[in-house]
């Protein structure tokens, strides 16, 4: 931790002390937690996906309905990165915090499944998942597994084995409703948590951006780790404008060192 400025070191210690006193924590993760794993975010000015194309042209419910082939062509490079991505230190840090008993629920805006790959449980995917697909004609839901490799390798459009309708990945497009149960559980977790850690989210996408407000209005602590400012920075206990894959592991390390010192002191 010697490479950090004194201010950052102090913030890491403060964040660790807040977490240490909490038992019903929620992590709200956004695209910034997965960019170190090679998955591009959506809104960065030069590298974000929406800097290259208008989102409503390819990633809306209306666009998919009228031109699903264009959607699959656009999605293929991104899907390749998502399927092959591996969890980074931030994902493992979240999992560690959960195993230590500080974090109960993970609410993620991401569709990459990296929290689960890192070992985390009780992950609420409020923007959908790549794990399943639904037929647009007969609404049959199937596992994506048999269809992924032909799509990635050859661009084969997944089709329903029952009616030959196109299978749409169960990711939420613009103009679609969020999955009901995960969203309901995310709101409940936010209302009853004693801590929320925003990890790599700019808090610009509604309605998810309101979840931290629900938490702090009921007395929860708020820690924000994101490269750019958010609308709730002024309400947060601690704010880091830094890489979440660097900061979160350091917070976990501080917690571990504190616990180890306490154990030695009790001997």
CA pseudo-torsion sign 51, 52, 56, 60? negative
Q: Angle CA(84)–CA(87)–CA(91) in degrees, nearest 5?
A: 155
Helix (H, G, I), strand (E, B) or coil at 110: coil
Tokens 């499944």 correspond to what residue? 113
* DSSP states of 113-137: -HHHHTT--SEEETTEEEEEEEETT
The catalytic position among 96, 104, 127, 254 is 127
Residue 172's Cβ-count burial label (10 Å; 0-12, 13-18, 19+) is buried
Distance CA 99, CA 233 (A): 27
- Beta-bridge mates of residue 214: none
127 is catalytic: yes
Q: Extract the tokens encoding 7.
A: 């201010």
Rounded to an integer, what distance in angstroms lies between the CA atom of residue 209 and that of residue 226?
A: 14
Buried b vs exposed e over 10-26: b needs ≥16 C-beta within 10 Å? ebbbebbebbeebeebb
Rounded to whole angstroms, what are the CA distances from 82 to 35, 65, 153, 168, 243?
Answer: 10, 23, 14, 16, 20
CB atoms inside a 10 Å sphere around CB 132:
15
Residues belonging to the active site: 127
């Amino acid at each position: 931790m010697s490479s950090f400025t004194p201010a950052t070191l102090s913030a890491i210690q403060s964040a660790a002390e807040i977490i240490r006193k909490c038992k019903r924590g929620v992590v709200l993760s956004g695209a910034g937690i997965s960019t170190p794993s090679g998955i591009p975010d959506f809104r960065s000015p030069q590298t974000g996906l929406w800097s290259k194309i208008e989102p409503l042209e390819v990633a809306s419910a209306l666009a998919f309905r009228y031109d699903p082939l264009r959607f699959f062509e656009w999605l293929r490079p991104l899907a390749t990165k998502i399927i092959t991505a591996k969890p980074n230190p931030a994902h493992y840090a979240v999992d560690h915090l959960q195993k230590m008993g500080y974090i109960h629920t993970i609410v993620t805006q991401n569709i990459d499944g990296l929290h689960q790959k890192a070992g985390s449980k009780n992950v609420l995917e409020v923007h959908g998942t790549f794990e399943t697909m639904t037929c647009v004609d007969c609404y049959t839901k199937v596992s994506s597994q048999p269809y992924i490799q032909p799509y990635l390798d050859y661009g084969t459009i997944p089709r329903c084995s029952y009616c030959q309708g196109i299978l749409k990945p169960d990711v939420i497009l613009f103009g679609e409703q969020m999955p009901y149960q995960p969203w309901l559980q995310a709101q409940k977790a936010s209302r009853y948590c004693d801590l929320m850690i925003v990890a790599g989210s700019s808090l610009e996408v509604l309605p998810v951006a309101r979840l931290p407000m629900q938490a702090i209005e009921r007395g929860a602590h708020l820690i924000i780790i994101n490269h750019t400012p958010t609308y709730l920075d002024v309400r947060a206990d601690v704010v880091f404008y830094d890489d979440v894959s660097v900061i979160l592991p350091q917070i976990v390390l501080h917690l571990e060192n504190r616990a180890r010192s306490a154990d030695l002191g009790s001997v």
